[in-house]
A and B are shown apart, each in its own frame.
Chain A
Amino acid sequence: MTMQKRKLSDKELDAIGTRVLAASRLTEAEIDRIATTPGSFEGVLRRVRDIDAGAPKAGIIGLLFAHRAIAGTSLAAILCFSAFAISLQQDRSAVVSKTIQTPVAKLGEARPATPQVVYVKGFTSGRADLQLDVPPEAPTVQNSIQKEVRRQQPRVEQARYSPDDGNHFVAVTYMGDGGESARGGRVIRVDVPRSTLFAMGFDVSLENDSPTVKADLLVGPDGVTRAVRLVE
């Protein structure tokens, strides 16, 4: 027997659906018979006893899970804090150089007639090669700074700027405490007017198209510039 599929509207389908739903129901008598099954209340009491017996167990399991959650959260917090501290440490030491040289200043002279140029090679290495006219044992400011630097042995990190660009830091005259330079500092890249560089004693031509020149300033912890390096 085959049946042709009819085209039924939604209203007709709903009517059929309601009839099918009504037909699938259990009768009241059947529901009553199920509800009055003997031994049903004993089953309830048995389930209550099971719930009562299971409650402390569930509590202990919950406590175990809570401990694990607390331990996991603490571990994650410690890891995050360590990672943050390490990144901070790296940021602070990335541009610090310990090889700061200042020119020899004679007493009674505010500014030397010609600034003494000190070349610092190997900017990133732990020990810089100095090319000075003065003997190494002479009681100069440089020697005292070098000694202090060697005694403190601060951690030296890789500098951001490559030392292979052919230029070197040139120290500018500084009358303050030279030992301060060894305690830290940072390198800042700036655009310096050509006239300023010329006034500082750098050999730059004034007749050029660019009014400024890129330069790295070695700034001490007190904010005073210690040395200058031309980038280009």
Chain B
Amino acid sequence: MSSIREAFQPEGILGYAGDEKVISGAVRAVRTDPQLIELVLAGDEYAFEQIFDRHKRIVARTAARYFQRPEQIEEIIQVAFAKAFVELPKFRGEHELSLPSWLCRIAANACLDTLRSQKRKPEDLQCELSTGEAETILDLTASPGQSSEESLISRDLSQKLLAHLPQDDRALLQMLYVEDMSVAEIGDLLGWSVSKVKIRAWRARHSLRKVLKKYV
């Protein structure tokens, strides 16, 4: 329980005393997620703001797997919390992490919906990667200690390279290989079965290899 609290401990909190937290000497009651949900359902808008403040980072992290532009991530945060507010009466939380994981699933679905609508009206242009840029990517990603400038360059070039990959495939590979999430965890997050996650991951890996073979 304490590890979960530490994981979601907001800034400025010095420590916990039972169900209370000590902020700079003052003691103020901290409400749990189910309590806040009860208050929201009773019509307390401030309680929903507390939920928003508590979980917006984890929702932003989910959105950042699919989108890189700040305005897109911000939009996903707003859409996910608006949907959560509307659907909150249907929410049945059974354990401590259920609200964050429920919010993450809403955010992931919002991301997939946005990607689907983008497919209908494509805006992003795919740029071909020059051979020099491909060489730079290899050099920069191979070196462990990078300056901020180098890391920015390698990110731009990597994003340019990965633009040839579907965004949902990219997000799936990122969860699997970069964030080391298990197949079951990804399935829980996206609402997919384990076999579906495996199949999609295999296809995504195959697509990534094809892109890399073409440019590297």
Residue A107 lies at the interface, judged by CB distance under 8 Å to chain B: no
Counting chain A residues whose Cβ lies within 8 A of the other chain, the interface size class is 35 or more
Query: Which of A16, A22, A51 contacts B82 (CB under 8 A)?
Result: A51
Q: Which residue of B lies closest to A37 (CB)?
A: B74
Query: Which of A8, A26, A43, A45 contacts B216 (CB under 8 A)?
Result: A8
Q: Which residue of A lies closest to B86 (CB)?
A: A51
Residue B151 lies at the interface, judged by CB distance under 8 Å to chain A: yes
Q: Assuming the A-B contacts A1-B131, A14-B205, are A44 and B78 also in contact, with contact meaning beta carbons closer than 8 angstroms in the complex?
A: yes
B170-214 interface with A by 8 A CB criterion:
170, 173-174, 177-178, 205, 208-209, 212-213
For B212, list chain A residues within 8 Å (CB). 8, 13, 16-17, 20
A175 to B192, CA, bound (A): 81
Contact check, B209 vs A14: say whether CB atoms are below 8 A apart: yes
Q: Assuming the A-B contacts A24-B155, A41-B49, are A34 and B60 also in contact, with contact meaning beta carbons closer than 8 angstroms in the complex?
A: yes
A6 to B162, CA, bound (A): 19
Query: Which of A1, A16, A24 contacts B138 (CB under 8 A)?
Result: A16
**Distance from B216 Cβ to chain A, minimum over Cβ atoms (Å):** 6
Contact check, B178 vs A22: say whether CB atoms are below 8 A apart: yes
Q: Which residue of B lies closest to A55 (CB)?
A: B86
Contact check, B141 vs A20: say whether CB atoms are below 8 A apart: yes
For A31, list chain B residues within 8 Å (CB). 57, 60-61, 64, 73
**Distance from A43 Cβ to chain B, minimum over Cβ atoms (Å):** 4
**Distance from B78 Cβ to chain A, minimum over Cβ atoms (Å):** 4
B60-91 interface with A by 8 A CB criterion:
60-61, 64, 68, 70, 73-74, 77-79, 81-83, 85-86
